[in-house]
Structure 1
Amino acid sequence: MRRILICMPLLLAGAAVHAAPPTPSPCTDAPRAQWLSDEQLLSEVKRMGYKLKRYEQERQCVEVEGWDRNGQRVALRVDPATARIVQTTFK
């Protein structure tokens, strides 16, 4: 019984840590001096076939919302140094 009482808080703490949403990893480690300008980055994303609604820089990523070639809503995480799409989420 005593073992259960000692282990229960540890199990609950582990479950709470496991349930926390992961923080997104950075898209790039490149210094800002090596990042593309907003115009270059957005032009490259458009060249890939996306129509853009909005974008914002968050930490080491650029988050872009818009539509893909098929008209489906998407959210993209883009590396600001290379314009490489790191993550695509369909909405």
Structure 2
Amino acid sequence: MKALFAMFILLAGSVSFAGPDCTKEAKDKWMPEAKMKEMILSQGYKIKKFKIDGNCYEIYGWDKEGKKVEIYYNPVDGSVVKENKK
């Protein structure tokens, strides 16, 4: 029983840390990071951290209202794939 519970915890933990699947396109098809950052800033966001997470561009920062956000973007077209407001 303990082994089954431990296996459940391991599986649940690995699923909760998985980021979204943003694109299947090769990196040579991705928008340059500088262009992506410029697009995000033009939408009124402030970027604290910009990074590549798997096959996504991801930011940590603030929206126009000053609320903390974590946003995953499709790196090819810049569309929002997942957004968490804190």
TM-score class, shorter-chain normalisation, is 0.7 to 0.9
Give the RMSD, CA atoms, in angstroms: 2.0
Tell me how far apart the structure 2 counterparts of residues 88 and 26 of structure 1 sit (CA, whole Å): 13
* Alpha-carbon offset, residue 47 of structure 1: 1.9
Give the aligned residue type for 2:77. T
Give the aligned residue type for 1:20. G
Gaps of 5+ in 1: 1-7
**Counterparts of residues 6-45 of structure 1 (less than 5 Å):** 12=5, 15-16=8-9, 19-22=12-15, 23-45=18-40
Of 47-56 and 18-27, more deviation after overlay is shown by: 18-27
User: Is the 2:23–2:56 Cα contact (8 Å) retained in structure 1?
Assistant: yes
Output the TM-score relative to the length of structure 1.
Answer: 0.75
Gaps of 5+ in 2: none
Give the aligned residue type for 2:81. V
1:3 aligns to what?
none
Find the partner of 2:76 among 58, 62, 81. Answer: 81
Find the partner of 2:52 among 51, 57, 61. Answer: 57
Tell me how far apart the structure 2 counterparts of residues 87 and 25 of structure 1 sit (CA, whole Å): 7
* Alpha-carbon offset, residue 48 of structure 1: 1.9
In the superposition, relative to structure 1, how do residues 31 and 72 fare at CA in structure 2: closer, same or farther (>3 Å)? same
Structure showing greater Rg: 1
Tell me how far apart the structure 2 counterparts of residues 88 and 42 of structure 1 sit (CA, whole Å): 16
Tell me how far apart the structure 2 counterparts of residues 43 and 53 of structure 1 sit (CA, whole Å): 14
Output the TM-score relative to the length of structure 2.
Answer: 0.79
- State the number of aligned residues: 84
